Chains A and B, each alone.
Chain A
């Protein structure tokens, strides 16, 4: 019997609207359909099916990096971002597996890419509650704890690269 080599095509794309990833794994040629399905079973289990599969490890890595980043960058609260993870959507057809995952929180992209210092304008005013201990100058102006301002200057965020780093990790794991 002639030897047949089986190729697995792996394609992982970083997407930004919303921030996330699209993974395609295909087995275009196989000696038989039974062999291909057996191989796809195996790949599906490793990538998305089994406990502690590679895609869920990738997501955990992105979350871990975001948490470490938040501790460095002024203890920013990233829990809402992490909770906005929409899960892994995986489908399979006769020759391939398709999986995608993303985070729906609109601030996620600002942490992934970083932001510059900017001014937020009110419409017509900004109304927000603040921690008096942390913002004594606001406490002086608004002793009841709620500020009313026409605009506010916000400092920029450094780039976290949380998702891009996690995808680089996944590419290494699958040996690409």
Chain B
């Protein structure tokens, strides 16, 4: 896993905790449990902090069983761009991590509920994810040697949820911008 993917998933820890604290789901037998946000490293299809594998490129419709266990936030490396700066051995660098968040409506026993009674409202989840990523906006520290990031930007936000009746699908690019020192 790239350190940028790792950084994005790690940054979502606060959202994992806050949605579990603030929202719960109702099971068919009437019991309740916390809303779960599961983080997936899509570069190798693994659940973050676990050994369970998940293939998020599989069709969302065939994964409703999986989405009954939680909302999935999957990050993968998408683009790298480097261009030389001046005459020194420095490069302008940008790495893009694409984040895809998928959920299932509570009427299908998923973890999303627009009313917040039996799941987390989708827009509220997106807001929390955005602010979790932006709260580390200054100099994201990703342990990549010789690279210093100066800022990050969320771009190309797309919500494809309206194409489905019970599924939620939101995508956003996280662009890390900085300088790589080639000395």
A interface residues (Cβ-Cβ under 8 A, vs B): 12, 14, 16, 113-114, 116-118, 156, 158, 161, 164-165, 167-169, 171-172, 176
Contact = CB atoms under 8 A, between A and B. Distances in A.
Contacts of A169: 81
A117 B94 CA distance: 33
B155 interface: yes
B155 A16 contact: no
B175 A171 contact: yes
Interface in B148-169: 153, 155-158, 160
A165 B57 CA distance: 19
B58 interface: yes
Nearest to B60: A116
B24 interface: no
B59 A156 contact: yes
Nearest to A158: B57
Interface in B122-138: none
A164 B57 contact: no
Contact of B59 (A14, A116, A161): A116
A169 B98 CA distance: 15
Interface of B: 57-62, 78-79, 81, 83, 92, 94, 96, 98, 153, 155-158, 160, 171, 173, 175, 177
B57 A171 contact: no
Contacts of A14: 155-158
Given A14-B155, A14-B158, A16-B158, A168 B173 contact: yes
A114 B175 CA distance: 21
**A interface: dominant SS:** mixed
A118 B164 CA distance: 14
Contacts of A176: 153
Nearest to A171: B155
Contacts of A12: 155
Contacts of A158: 57
A12 B153 CA distance: 12
B55 to A, nearest CB: 11
B160 A172 contact: no
Closest 10 CB pairs of A and B: A116-B59, A14-B156, A164-B156, A165-B79, A16-B158, A172-B94, A168-B96, A167-B156, A117-B59, A168-B175
A169 B96 CA distance: 11
A118 B59 CA distance: 9
Nearest to A114: B57
Contact of B156 (A116, A168, A172): A168
A125 to B, nearest CB: 24
Contact of A113 (B58, B81, B160): B160
A20 to B, nearest CB: 12
Nearest to A176: B153
B25 to A, nearest CB: 25
Contacts of B153: 171, 176
Given A168-B156, A168-B175, A171-B153, 19 more contacts: A12-B155, A14-B155, A14-B156, A113-B158, A116-B58, A116-B59, A116-B61, A161-B78, A161-B79, A164-B155, A164-B156, A164-B173, A165-B78, A167-B155, A167-B156, A168-B94, A168-B155, A171-B175, A172-B92
